[in-house]
Amino acid sequence: MTVIDIPGSKSVTARALFLAAAAEGTTTLLRPLVSDDTEGFAEGLRALGYAVRQEPGAWHIEGRPAGPGTADADVYCRDGATTARFLPTLAAAGHGTFRFDASAQMRRRPLGPLSTALRELGVDLRHGGKEGHHPLAVHAAGVKGGALTLDAGQSSQYLTALLMLGPLTAEGLDITVTDLVSEPYVEITLAMMRAFGAEVVREDRTYRVAPTGYRARTYGVEPDASTASYLFAAAALLPGREATVPGLGTGALQGDLAFVDVLRRMGAEVEVTADATTVRSTGTLRGLTVNMRDISDTMPTLAAIAPFADGPVRIEDVANTRVKECDRLDACAGNLRRLGVTVDTGPDWIEIHPGAPAGPAEIATHGDHRIVMSFAVTALRTPGITFDDPGCVKKTFPDFHRVFGAFARTP
Ligand SMILES: O=C(O)C1=C[C@@H](OP(=O)(O)O)[C@@H](O)[C@H](O)C1
Ligand SMILES: C=C(OP(=O)(O)O)C(=O)O
């Protein structure tokens, strides 16, 4: 099997759900990602009084431009940071008291700069436990808008949430960023906001959003580029193999597709056409130094194949991977060392030295889907790898083990 159907993008599905909920009219979302994160987002919307009807391959959302359809709600955001950061921001545009909580894993992840920004906009937001973390309560009375400064150096999701709030404010929003990671995710946000009728312009470090509201539409979700990275990495790693992912081509919204450029630099053959991407092994994997600030969800994917390269692989500028589902720099280093690989790390980098990993070993997943999916790639050339929590892939790809196993078994 060389052509692989990859489930829809988590980032696109989450944004589409927000935009559809805020829009005038009913939106149909085609090929949404069905996973714990996006089911959690849809469930959160329902708790806030939005009508979301899910059928196979299509979700229908009735928009409520005035905000949540209830004045009092409890919302559980599970493990999803998009849910945990986007939904309180959406609720702020409405009227009522909305309480949010999340899993233990998500409670550990920060959202302080987003809370501060919402408070600057006049939103009465209170944290129930640790400041800048879930749980929190939003006492919403609409948002007037104005200008604010934001540090999005820890997560671009703070900026995405506020940008998407912009059209729902009375006077519009100007956001100036002092720092920003994962910038391609902001490009997804801007493109999708415009697709739902918003007017937003960027002038250097300032984003200006007009108070237009959103218009409902039918929206097709492209396959998830971060998910595709495991198949692309596997194809680059296994001599004689290739992987083609339809639906991810030159027009793709997601920056994580640039992971194939890293594989190309390492020696793989890569072809990106208008509607598909193919990665082919050449039997060579070269070491390299690469800055992954823009595409850090694929850092563990690269770390997992790095020991098979002919020289050191050094990944730089990925400090924010320490505040994801787990501390991914430590998790990657720890698991590679468990496999006998030599690894060095610093505050925002990891360097992996060549040398065939050796099992048997149980990978400590830390409940992180990307640690499982990445080390499943390592396992293709390392007998004896098992996982302490293989099921945590449900966050973004519940069917991962079946799909990846089928790819691996294909001669
Ligand atoms: O906006 C989004 O959909 C996402 C942005 C990125 O997060 P950060 O901006 O926190 O790096 C990415 O890691 C996450 O998986 C999804
Ligand atoms: C970091 C991730 O997820 P999120 O921030 O959306 O929870 C991820 O999917 O790798």
């092994």: which residue's tokens?
A: 281
Residues catalogued as catalytic: 297
Topology annotation, domain 10-211:
UDP-n-acetylglucosamine1-carboxyvinyl-transferase; Chain (3.65.10)
The candidate with the shortest Cα–Cα distance to 331, out of 123, 105, 143, 131, is 105
Q: By CB neighbour count within 10 A (0-12 exposed, 13-18 middle, 19+ buried), where does 405 fall?
A: exposed
109 is in an annotated binding site: yes
Please give the share of the chain, as a percent, with pLDDT higher than 70.
100
φ, ψ (nearest 5 deg) of residue 47: -60, -30
Please give the share of the chain, as a percent, with pLDDT higher than 90.
99
pLDDT number for residue 411? 75
The candidate with the shortest Cα–Cα distance to 311, out of 270, 355, 280, 358, is 355
Residue whose Cα lies nearest atom 2 of ligand 2: it is: 324
Distance of alpha carbon 233 from the chain centroid = 18
pLDDT number for residue 34? 98
C-alpha dist (Å) from residue 33 to 38, 144, 223, 250, 276: 7, 33, 8, 21, 19
Q: What is the pLDDT of residues 105-153, one digit of tens each?
A: 999 999 999 999 999 999 999 999 999 999 999 999 999 999 999 999 9
* Residue type (1 letter), 391: G
Is there a contact between 120 and 95 (Cβ–Cβ < 8 Å)?
A: no
Residue whose Cα lies nearest atom 3 of ligand 2: it is: 81
Q: Which of 188, 294, 325 to mutate to test the pocket of ligand 2 (most atoms within 8 A of CB)?
A: 325
φ, ψ (nearest 5 deg) of residue 408: -65, -35
Q: Give the C-alpha separation, 162 to 174, whole Å.
A: 10
**Residue range 225-409, CATH number:** 3.65.10.10
Distance from the CA of 325 to the center of ligand 2, in angstroms? 7
Q: What is the pLDDT of residues 323-348, one digit of tens each?
A: 999 999 999 999 999 999 999 999 99
Whether residue 188 has its Cβ less than 6 Å from ligand 1: no
User: Which residues are CB-neighbours of 154 under 8 A, at least 6 positions away?
Assistant: 110, 113, 181, 320, 323
Domain extents for the chain? 10-211, 225-409
Q: What is the pLDDT of residues 368-383, one digit of tens each?
A: 999 999 999 999 999 9
ipTM: 0.99
215 is in an annotated binding site: no
* Residue type (1 letter), 163: L
Whether residue 154 has its Cβ less than 6 Å from ligand 1: no
Distance from the CA of 395 to the center of ligand 2, in angstroms? 9
As a whole number, mean pLDDT of residues 48-64 equals 98
Whether residue 85 has its Cβ less than 6 Å from ligand 2: no
User: Which residues are CB-neighbours of 401 under 8 A, at least 6 positions away?
Assistant: 376, 390, 393
User: Does residue 390 have a cis peptide bond before it, meaning omega lies within 30 degrees of 0?
Assistant: no
182 is in an annotated binding site: yes
Tokens of 394: 């449900």
| Mean per-residue pLDDT over the chain, rounded | 98
Q: What is the pLDDT of residues 222-262, one digit of tens each?
A: 999 999 999 999 999 999 999 999 999 999 999 999 999 99
264 is in an annotated binding site: no
DSSP state of 224: P
Q: What is the pTM of this model?
A: 0.98
Q: What is the pLDDT of residues 175-186, one digit of tens each?
A: 999 999 999 999
Is there a contact between 137 and 98 (Cβ–Cβ < 8 Å)?
A: yes
First CA to last CA distance, the chain: 8
pLDDT band of residue 1 (cuts 50, 70, 90) is: low
pLDDT at residue 288 greater than cutoff 80: yes
